[in-house]
């Protein structure tokens, strides 16, 4: 049986030779649900109405969660969405909660559906127990379905509002857009957004001949098996002094004062600027990788565990490896590409592809190392090439080639 070292060396030799490479043909147009997010500027009346709706959505969610928790703790029974919906009708009839009738009923019903989904995820062990929504920390949002908004000639009008939203169309919406759901939100920086969910027909890209392995890092956002290193802009570090100054200013403000709220918005705007620039950078990188390559191999990293390292947590969070992988996966699914995921325990950095030797632990400060066989390796480029070879070897093994990598269980089919 062919060993991992033999398979890796053979595949790397094949990849280095000119030729058609690996091509997966997929020429079927698929229809997907796609959300288009835009910023809008509400009038004073619309802002008041939306703020009232956000508060009612939060109240209904928390009250329904409280009722479900109480029924389970005291009576040992669960409540369904239908029972929570019936309870909402009764709440509206009381004097104390009669104000729930002043806002559209659809966002309130959607809050109950979201709670039902949260419990479903909890019982299937995909998430923890649902938490109460905080007035200050939770995301402000409300979801409207078709019965609660009007879409005519590119103008969106929500229920309980007489005027359409003043949306800034930063990119064109689909010509025949037929929104099924509209979600309105407000972030901590005070910006208003509307997310319009539509069905979009996506045609896969033409088959590519290139394949690539990607090793994510801190100095380089991504190192490719081709030898290219994509620099990490480190947007959080670039704005760190500005952020620290804003945080110091915030601590000087009296709690509960208007000046403290203004200082909070300044801090939130800096965080929003960092997040927006980082997301834009990752979109450009992942779009390029998907367009140029048919197969993309990644390493399965547990970012949640990595951020427990106090020395690296800030840099790891700024690199946003999980977001990069998520973007690659959904874009590959849209455009007919393939993402291979290599097991996190695979020694990608320490494996010498020339002799198959696994080097002893190498400190992170060492970026180049020399194998006992005399081969010199750039740590990141070597890791990217090994990740690619491991992913392709497992891909061959899944197709019946009988290749089993030594000392690791490669989960190439893990598409989480």
Closest CA relative to residue 327, chosen from 372, 367, 291: 291
The Cα–Cα gap between 297 and 215 comes to 9
Q: What is the pLDDT of residues 87-125, one digit of tens each?
A: 999 999 999 999 999 999 999 999 999 999 999 999 999
The Cα–Cα gap between 224 and 382 comes to 9
The Cα–Cα gap between 213 and 289 comes to 10
Structure tokens at 405: 């990598």
Q: Is 200 an annotated catalytic residue?
A: no
Choosing from 49, 338, 380, 394, the catalytic residue is: 380
H helices within 311-378, ranges in order? 313-319, 321-335
Closest CA relative to residue 111, chosen from 130, 125, 127: 130
Closest CA relative to residue 33, chosen from 179, 146, 166, 243: 179
Q: What is the pLDDT of residue 10?
A: 59
The Cα–Cα gap between 297 and 295 comes to 7
Instruction: List C-alpha distances in Å: 60 to 80, 110, 115, 161, 162.
Output: 15, 10, 10, 21, 25
Closest CA relative to residue 193, chosen from 148, 139, 149: 139
Query: pLDDT > 90: what percent of the chain?
Result: 54
Strand partners, 268: none
Q: Is 239 an annotated catalytic residue?
A: no
Task: Check: CB of residue 275 under 8 Å from CB of residue 188.
Answer: no
Domain positions in the chain are 4-29+208-398, 33-202
Choosing from 215, 236, 318, 338, the catalytic residue is: 215
Task: Check: CB of residue 42 under 8 Å from CB of residue 50.
Answer: yes
The sign of the torsion formed by the CA atoms of 106, 112, 118, 123 equals negative
Helix (H, G, I), strand (E, B) or coil at 394: helix
Q: What is the pLDDT of residue 6?
A: 57
Q: Is 292 an annotated catalytic residue?
A: no
The Cα–Cα gap between 300 and 341 comes to 6
- The owner of tokens 């200050």 is 136
Task: Check: CB of residue 158 under 8 Å from CB of residue 149.
Answer: yes
H helices within 217-320, ranges in order? 235-238, 240-252, 258-292, 303-306, 313-319
The residues, any chain, with a CB within 8 Å of residue 267's CB and separated by 6 or more, are 243, 246, 247, 250
Q: What is the pLDDT of residue 373?
A: 81
Instruction: List C-alpha distances in Å: 4 to 22, 390, 393, 409.
Output: 20, 8, 8, 11
For the chain, the farthest-separated pair of C-alpha atoms sits apart, in whole angstroms, at: 82
- Walking along the chain (416 residues) 10 residues at a time, the average pLDDT comes out as 52 51 60 91 96 96 95 87 94 95 95 95 93 89 95 92 93 84 94 93 88 90 90 90 95 93 94 94 95 92 82 86 92 92 84 79 78 80 88 74 41 33
Residue 39: its H or E element: strand 30-40
- The owner of tokens 């874009």 is 331
Choosing from 299, 318, 329, 394, the catalytic residue is: 299
Say what the pTM is.
Answer: 0.82
Q: Give the Cα-Cα-Cα angle 61, 62, 67 (nearest 5 degrees).
A: 100
The residues, any chain, with a CB within 8 Å of residue 13's CB and separated by 6 or more, are none
Q: What is the pLDDT of residue 11?
A: 57
Q: What is the pLDDT of residue 244?
A: 95
Exposure b/e, 112-123, CB count within 10 A at least 16 = b: beebbebbeeee
Q: What is the pLDDT of residue 405?
A: 43
Q: What is the DSSP string of 3-31?
A: -HHHHHHHHHHHHHS-S----------EE
Task: Check: CB of residue 27 under 8 Å from CB of residue 181.
Answer: no
- The owner of tokens 């703020």 is 51
């Amino acid at each position: 049986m062919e060993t991992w070292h033999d398979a890796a060396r053979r595949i790397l030799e094949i990849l280095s030779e000119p030729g058609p490479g690996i091509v997966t043909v997929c020429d079927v147009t698929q229809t997907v649900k796609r959300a288009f997010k835009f910023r809008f500027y509400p009038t004073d009346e619309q802002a008041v109405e939306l703020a009232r709706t956000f508060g009612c959505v939060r109240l209904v969610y928390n009250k329904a969660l409280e009722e479900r928790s109480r029924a389970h703790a005291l009576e040992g029974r669960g409540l369904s969405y239908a029972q929570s919906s019936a309870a909402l009708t009764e709440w509206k009839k009381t004097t104390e909660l009669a104000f729930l009738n002043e806002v559209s009923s659809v966002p309130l019903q959607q809050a109950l559906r979201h709670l039902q989904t949260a419990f479903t995820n909890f019982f299937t062990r995909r998430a923890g127990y649902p938490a109460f929504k905080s007035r200050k920390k939770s995301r402000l949002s409300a979801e409207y379905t078709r019965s609660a908004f009007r879409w005519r000639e590119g103008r969106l009008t929500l229920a309980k509002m007489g005027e359409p939203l003043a949306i800034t169309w930063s990119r064109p919406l689909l010509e025949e857009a037929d929104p099924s759901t509209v979600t309105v939100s407000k972030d901590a920086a005070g910006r208003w957004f509307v997310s319009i969910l539509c069905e979009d027909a996506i045609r896969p890209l033409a088959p590519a001949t290139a394949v690539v392995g990607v090793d994510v890092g801190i100095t380089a956002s991504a190192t490719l098996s081709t030898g290219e290193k994509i620099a990490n802009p480190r947007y959080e570090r670039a704005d760190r002094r500005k952020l620290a100054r804003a945080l110091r200013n915030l601590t000087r403000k009296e709690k509960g004062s208007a000046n403290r709220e203004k200082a909070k918005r300044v801090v939130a705007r800096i965080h929003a600027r960092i997040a927006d620039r980082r997301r834009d950078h990752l979109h450009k990188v992942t779009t390029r990788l998907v367009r140029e390559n048919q197969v993309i191999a990644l390493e399965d990293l547990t970012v949640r565990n990595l951020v427990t390292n106090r020395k690296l947590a800030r840099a790891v969070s700024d690199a946003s490896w999980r977001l990069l992988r998520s973007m690659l996966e959904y874009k590959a699914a849209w455009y007919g590409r393939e993402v291979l995921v290599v097991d996190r325990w695979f020694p990608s950095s320490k494996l010498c592809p020339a002799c198959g030797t696994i080097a002893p632990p190498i400190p992170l400060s060492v970026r180049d190392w020399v194998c006992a066989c005399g081969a010199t390796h750039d740590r990141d480029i070597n890791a990217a090439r090994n990740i690619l070879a491991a992913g392709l070897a497992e891909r061959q093994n899944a197709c019946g080639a009988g290749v089993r990598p030594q000392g690791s269980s490669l989960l190439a089919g893990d598409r989480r």
